Every structure is written in C-alpha cells, then in structure tokens.
C-alpha cells in the first residue's frame, strides 16, 4: 500500500495518560494561547510518527512519557511565566525541568527534558544528544517546515491538523520569538535564532521570511 492510501492507525491521536502528562497538558492550556498548545501537541504526534518511521520502539528506544513532556513543554519559554532573561529555549528548559523535577522524576529524566528543550533549535547538535532530543527536534521541524514529513501520509496529517488546527502557527511562533527580543535584547544573543528573527523584524524582512517558509511548506501556514 502506498503512502497516500495507508490506513490511519486508530490510536494516532492518543496521548500519554500518566498523571504528569495530564498535568503538563492542563498547565500549558492555562498559560499558552491555543495556537501554541496545538503546535506543541502536533510536535509530539509528528515526533512519534517519525520514531515509527525510524523503527524506534516506545519503551525500548525512547521513553514516550519523557518525549511527550519535552514536546508539550518545549515552548513554555514564550509564556509570561517563562519569559526570563535568557533565550526562550533556555528559559523554557529551566521552567520545564522544574515542573518535571517537582513531580518526582529522577535527575537523568529531568536532564533529558532540559536538554531536549534547550537544544531544540540547535540544528546539527540536538540530533546527537539522545532519542528524546532528536525526536523533539524532528517533530518541531516537521510541524513548522514540513521537512522530513515524507514518512507521514496525507490522511495522518489531516487527522492531526483537524484535531489541532494550525491557527497561523508559523507567523505566530516566529513573531512571538522576535517580540521577546525586541522587548528584552538580552534574550537574543548574537548568532541565535531569537537574535536572527529580531534582526529580520528590525529591517522589515520578517514577513517576507515567513512568506517564504509558508510557501515552501507542505502544511502552509
């Protein structure tokens, strides 16, 4: 059966149901706008499909609960609660690590979540820092750019997007990252993604950059 006609799994949209997973999802729904919550959950669903494509087994090759926690918490640095003095990835990683540690996870699990979030925009590095780090990165890239989405059928993508609509995720996300740096320049160290997005905004090029990303993406906006 080819990719376009492959049957969608019944449990495609199923999310981990541990107490901590439920608390994490409830938390981001309180502190994040809908578009950001949807992006975070889609990133997990795409990351899990990427793991399937790579023949990675949940519970064997990666911890599905830690992957879920890293994915759904990966942008808490863009919230009021997470908006500190560091780049958003690091502020978010610190806040997420505190959340996980407060629920009794061991130091290794907390470090895995921290690294996955802190490094999720670090292309060429994060892929070499363990399964959860690599899958979070891959899931976010698939959601924002559709790069690497060849392993996902149209039917699977449609089901995910119907459940968690995009709500102009590309423009919203890039704008939110740049906005933080405009307000607090220390959040955009030179040569980082936040700094580059703020620079594009300062020269009135951010919209054109977003347009190019959207035009090139399988998902559009």
Mean pLDDT of each 10-residue bin along the chain, 221 residues long: 46 96 98 98 98 97 98 98 97 98 98 98 96 98 97 97 97 96 95 95 94 95 90
For 200-221, how does the pLDDT look when each residue is reduced to its tens digit (9 = 90+)?
Answer: 999 999 999 999 999 999 999 9
pLDDT at 191: 92
Q: Which two tokens stand for residue 79?
A: 């919230």
Report the chain's terminal Cα–Cα distance, integer Å.
Answer: 29
Considering its fold, how many domains does the chain have in total?
1
How far, in Å, are 66, 88, 162, 193, 217 from residue 99 at the CA level?
12, 16, 29, 25, 33
pLDDT 10s digits, 45-63: 999 999 999 999 999 999 9
Whether residue 100 is contained in a domain is answered as yes
- Asked whether residue 160 is assigned to any structural domain, the reply reads yes
Q: Give a yes or no: residue 206 inside a domain.
A: no
Q: Model-level pTM?
A: 0.94
Has residue 210 been placed in a domain? no
Q: Is residue 102 part of a domain?
A: yes
Distances (CA, A) of 69 to 31, 95, 108, 175: 15, 12, 14, 24
| Residue 10 pLDDT | 61
| Model pLDDT, residue 3 | 39
What is the per-residue pLDDT for 7? 43
CATH number at residue 35: 1.10.3210
* Residue 48, domain member (yes or no): yes
Structural domain range at position 28: 17-166
Residue 182: per-residue pLDDT: 93
Structure tokens at 119: 């490094």
Give the model's pLDDT for residue 9: 64
Rg (CA), the chain: 17
125 found inside a domain = yes
SS3 62: strand
**Domain presence at residue 209:** no
Residue 4's pLDDT is: 37
């Amino acid at each position: 059966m080819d990719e376009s006609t492959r049957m969608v799994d019944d449990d495609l949209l199923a999310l981990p149901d541990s107490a901590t997973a439920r608390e994490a999802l409830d938390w981001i729904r309180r502190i994040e706008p809908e578009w950001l919550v949807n992006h975070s959950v889609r990133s997990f669903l795409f990351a899990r499909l990427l793991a399937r494509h790579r023949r990675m087994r949940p519970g064997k090759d990666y911890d599905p609960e830690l992957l879920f926690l890293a994915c759904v918490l990966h942008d808490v640095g863009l919230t009021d609660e997470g908006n500190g003095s560091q780049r958003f990835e690091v502020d978010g990683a610190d806040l997420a690590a505190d959340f996980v540690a407060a629920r009794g996870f061991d130091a290794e699990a907390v470090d895995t979540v921290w690294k996955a979030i802190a490094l999720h925009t670090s292309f060429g590095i994060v892929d070499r820092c363990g399964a959860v780090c690599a899958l979070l990165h891959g899931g976010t890239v698939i959601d924002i750019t559709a790069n690497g989405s060849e392993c996902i059928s149209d039917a699977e993508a449609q089901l995910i997007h119907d459940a968690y609509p995009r709500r102009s995720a590309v423009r919203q996300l890039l704008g939110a990252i740049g906005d933080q740096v405009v307000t607090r320049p220390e959040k955009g160290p030179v040569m980082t993604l936040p700094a580059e997005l703020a620079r594009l905004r300062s020269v009135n090029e951010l919209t054109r950059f977003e347009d190019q990303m959207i035009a090139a993406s399988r998902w559009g906006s």
